[in-house]
Amino acid sequence: MGYEIDKTEEQWRQELSPAEYHVLREAGTEPAFTGEYTHTKATGVYECRACGAELFRSDTKFESHCGWPSFFDPADSSAVELLEDRSHGMVRTEVRCARCGSHLGHVFRGEGYPTPTDERYCINSISLRLVPEEDAGESRG
C-alpha cells in the first residue's frame, strides 16, 4: 500500500531512536509492562510517534492487564490499517498507522472484555505519543 508519508528506511532510522525503529518499522514488540502508557490514565489523544497521525483517544483506553496499552476502538476507522500477520507460528491481525505504515501492535476480537466493540487493540507504547487534552484542543483548532 502507498502511504501519505513516504520515507526511505534510512530517513526513518535518522528520525527514530533504535528502539522506536525496531517496533515501528520492523514490527518489533516492546517488553510487556515496560511501556510508558501501559498504566496511563491521562486524558488526551494518542498519536503515531512516527508521523503524528491521530490514532486513539483516551476515552477508548481500558485496563486489559495484558502488559500493553489497550483500546477498544481507533479514533477513526481510517486511521489504522489492519493486515493479516502469520509470523511466530500464529495468525493475528496487525495494526499499522494508515498514514505512514508504521507497526503499532495487534487487534484481538471476542476476548470477552466489557467494551462496546469486544475488540482489544494491543498497542506498543513506543508506537504512540500522548497529547494531553488541553494541548490536543489547541493544536487542532
Which backbone phi and psi does 82 adopt, to 5 degrees?
-110, 130
Residue whose cell numbers read 493486515 = 83
CATH of the domain at 47: 2.170.150.20
Q: What is the pLDDT of residue 135?
A: 64
Give this prediction's pTM.
Answer: 0.90
Rounded CA gap, 23 and 68, in Å?
13
pLDDT tens, position by position, 84-99: 989 888 889 999 999 9
* CB 105, CB 37: distance < 8 Å: no
Q: Does residue 40 form part of some domain?
A: yes
Range of the domain at 109: 9-139
Overall domain count for the chain: 1
Q: Give the active site residues.
A: 122
Q: What is the pLDDT of residue 19?
A: 97
For residue 126, CA distances in Å to 56, 65, 84, 103, 129 come to: 14, 18, 22, 10, 8
**Within the chain, which residues score under 50 in pLDDT?**
139-141
Q: Does residue 123 form part of some domain?
A: yes
Count of CB atoms situated within 10 Å of the CB of 51? 19
Q: Does residue 17 form part of some domain?
A: yes
Q: What is the pLDDT of residue 90?
A: 86
Q: Does residue 117 form part of some domain?
A: yes
Nearest to 48 by CA among 12, 91, 8: 12
